[in-house]
Amino acid sequence: MILVVNSGSSSIKFSLYKNEDNKIVKITQGIAEQIKVKGKVSISYNQNKYEYDIDLPNHKIAIETILTKLDDLNIIENIADIKGVGYRTVHGGSISKSSLIDDSVLNKLNESSKLAPLHNPPALLVIEKFREFLPNAKHVACFDTAFHQTMPKINYIYPVNYDWYKNYGVRKYGFHGISFNYINKKYEEIVGKTKTNTIVCHLGNGASLCSTKNGKSFDTTMGLTPLAGIMMGTRCGDIDPSIINFMASTLKKDVAQINDMLNNESGLLGVSKVSSDIRYIEDGYRNGDELCLLAIELYTQKIANFIIQMANQQEGKVDAIIFTAGIGENSATIRKKVIDKLFLLNVKLDELKNEASYSDYLKISSDNSGVEIYKIRTNEEIMICQDVISFL
Ligand code: ADP
């Protein structure tokens, strides 16, 4: 069995898979949340949902509780049956592929903690504890940054003092790589081609675009941190960097506080003043709310601008534009508004297919479109699971 773990500062999401005759089957999934606050563990198994209110004062107890509950519910007979554990890890610095966790990988993760202070430290803690509980399993770190290590220098160097890159690692890393990797593999499987040029719009609460050239990441919109690029649920994306200084002195706050506001109070939430969730903003938009209209126009314009820039770097040879993640998979309105803003590309949306329900994926461009358009559901967990299997 393989356990896939996605941890945050107060939660640990997990799912358990088995690999039978090269077919990966999900057995169960769940979450331990409100760690250090209160504590709750939920597990879905065989169409039932089991919920427990349990004190979870730290990550160690949360992990112990997850493993005990899996045992109590007879989902696993023996925790030693878990042969591999895969961890979604946000920042891998310059690591270019999923890696078996050893001291050198742990050191690199520690170094990258400065670049992802909210994400890497809880991931490291969780890795340490799972290694204690499952000493004989293979532990594999899968990085959101790894897929983008193929980007050419022209796309990852910032126009600042070159010493910042050389001495402090200030460069574009990019994120959502596990999702982009999954989506590109899926697209190539669907069309039966390899080395494709795609522009993938991963539009979740956090959101970024990735352009692939010959099947490899060529450019992406997030940067040193996930704050850069397009406007997101609560993050601002690219802005004039001087705004930070200006607002720090205007509001008499320090840079860290302004950075926090740019991460948590900006984007769709900041502009619409309604919500970070596109469903509420679309409701406001349909009811004629001016700020909701502005938020949606701004959001889709930013995405369209990056698509055009990426298409230019692909010398116009774009095979497909693909929408994925919460908004990309579900919002026909956002997809249509983005496509309608792409004047320099020969793209034609099939509006019925754009609105149609689907399971895994659906091609939503018309037959006479020069570029294919798809909506594809992402699956980061299965990608992590496959990576773990490759080490077993
Ligand atoms: P993340 O993994 O970054 O937290 P998700 O990929 O789960 O985010 O996307 C979450 C967002 O997707 C929500 O904030 C909401 O805006 C949007 N979303 C989710 N479901 C729907 C839906 N059925 N219709 C439209 N938007 C949706």
The CATH number that applies at residue 291 is 3.30.420.40
Q: Which residues contact 290 (CB under 8 A, 6 or more apart)?
A: none
The label of the residue with tokens 């574009």 reads 172
Quote the tokens at residue 268. Answer: 């769709």
- Shared domain for 133 and 218, answered yes or no, is no
Tell me which of 112, 143, 174 is where a domain ends: 143
- Stretch 325-334: mean pLDDT: 97
292-301 long-range CB contacts below 8 Å, 24 or more apart? Answer: 295/268, 295/271, 296/333, 296/334, 296/337, 297/337, 298/231, 298/271, 299/230, 299/231, 299/268, 299/334, 300/334, 300/337, 300/338, 300/341, 301/341
pLDDT category at 175 given cuts 50, 70, 90 is: very high
Q: Which of 183, 279, 333, 337 to mutate to test the pocket of ligand 1 (most atoms within 8 A of CB)?
A: 279
Lowest mean pLDDT among 17-26, 168-177, 231-240, 272-281: 17-26
Query: Do the Cβ atoms of 345 and 312 come closer than 8 Å?
Result: no
Q: What is the pLDDT of residue 164?
A: 97
Instruction: Say if ligand 1 is within 6 A of residue 330 CB.
Output: yes
Please determine, for residue 336, whether its predicted confidence score (pLDDT) is greater than 90. yes
Assess whether the C-beta atom of 325 lies below 6 angstroms from ligand 1.
yes
**Residue 339 CB partners (closer than 8 Å, separation 6+):** 321, 347, 349, 373
Same domain for 242 and 100: no
Q: Is 263 annotated as a binding residue?
A: no
Instruction: Give pLDDT tens digits for 97-123.
Output: 999 999 899 998 888 888 887 788 888
> Which atom of ligand 1 is nearest the CA belonging to 278?
16
The catalytic residue among 53, 144, 163, 219 is 144
364 pLDDT tier (thresholds 50, 70, 90): very high
**Claim to verify: residue 229 and residue 342 sit in the same structural domain:** yes
Q: Single out the residue in 143, 174, 206 at which a domain terminates.
A: 143
* pLDDT exceeds cutoff 80 at 215: yes
> Which structure tokens are listed for 233?
């649920």
Could you tell me the pTM of the whole model?
0.94
Q: Probe ligand 1: pick from 264, 269, 278, 375, max atoms within 8 Å of CB?
A: 278
Q: Is the CB of residue 275 below 6 angstroms from any atom belonging to ligand 1?
A: no
- CA angle 47-53-54, nearest 5°? 120
| Pair 362, 247 in one domain | yes
Which pLDDT score is estimated for 116? 81
pLDDT at 90 over 90: no
Record the tokens describing residue 323, joined without a space. Answer: 């929408």
Q: Are residues 122 and 212 in the same domain?
A: no
pLDDT at residue 113 in the model: 85
Q: Assess whether 111 and 198 both reside in one domain.
A: no
pLDDT average, residue stretch 342-362 = 98
For the chain, give the percent of residues with pLDDT over 70. 100
**Residue corresponding to tokens 């010959």:** 214
Q: Decide: 277 in ligand 1 pocket, CB within 6 A.
A: yes
85-94, 184-193, 204-213: the lowest-pLDDT one: 85-94
Residue 169 lies in a domain: no
- For residues 292 and 368, membership in a common domain is answered with yes
Question: Which residues 6+ apart lie within 8 Å of 86 measured at CB?
Answer: 2, 3, 4, 5, 98, 140, 141, 142, 384, 385, 387, 388
Residue 203 counted as an annotated binding residue? yes
Rounded to an integer, the average pLDDT of 236-260 is: 97
Alpha carbons within 13 A on the beta-carbon side of 48:
6
Question: Does any domain span residue 290?
Answer: yes
327 belongs to an annotated ligand binding site: yes
Predicted pLDDT of residue 117? 79
Identify whether the C-beta of residue 307 lies closer than 8 Å to the C-beta of residue 184: no
Does residue 347 fall inside a structural domain?
A: yes
User: Would 327 be classed as within a structural domain?
Assistant: yes
Q: Are residues 130 and 198 in the same domain?
A: no
- If one counts the domains in the chain, the total is 2
Q: Which range marks the domain in which residue 107 is found?
A: 2-143
Q: What is the DSSP annotation of 265-302? A: S-HHHHHHSS-SSHHHHHHHHHTT-HHHHHHHHHHHHH
Q: What is the pLDDT of residue 52?
A: 96
Active site residue 144: yes
- Any domain includes 44: yes
Residue 292 inside a domain? The answer is yes
- Binned at pLDDT 50, 70 and 90, residue 89 comes out as very high
- The pLDDT of residue 122: 84
Q: Are residues 224 and 139 in the same domain?
A: no
The reply to whether ligand 1 has any atom less than 6 angstroms from the CB of 278 is yes
Contact 1, 18 (CB under 8 A): yes
pLDDT in tens, 128-140: 999 999 999 999 9
For residue 163, what pLDDT is reported?
98
Residue range 203-211: average pLDDT? 96
| pLDDT over 90 percentage in the chain | 90
One domain for residues 353 and 267 = yes
- Return the bridge partners of 45, or none: 28, 48
Average pLDDT, the chain: 95
344 and 254 within one domain: yes
Question: Would you say residue 364 lies in a domain?
Answer: yes
Report whether 270 contacts 291 (CB < 8 A).
Answer: no
Boundary residue ending a domain (128, 143, 158)? 143
Task: Say whether both 280 and 373 belong to one domain.
Answer: yes
Give dist(CA 388, CA 4) in Å, integer.
9
Q: What is the mean pLDDT of residues 148-155?
A: 98
Residue 15 lies in a domain: yes
Under 8 Å between Cβ of 14 and 30: yes
Tell me what pLDDT residue 22 has.
Answer: 83
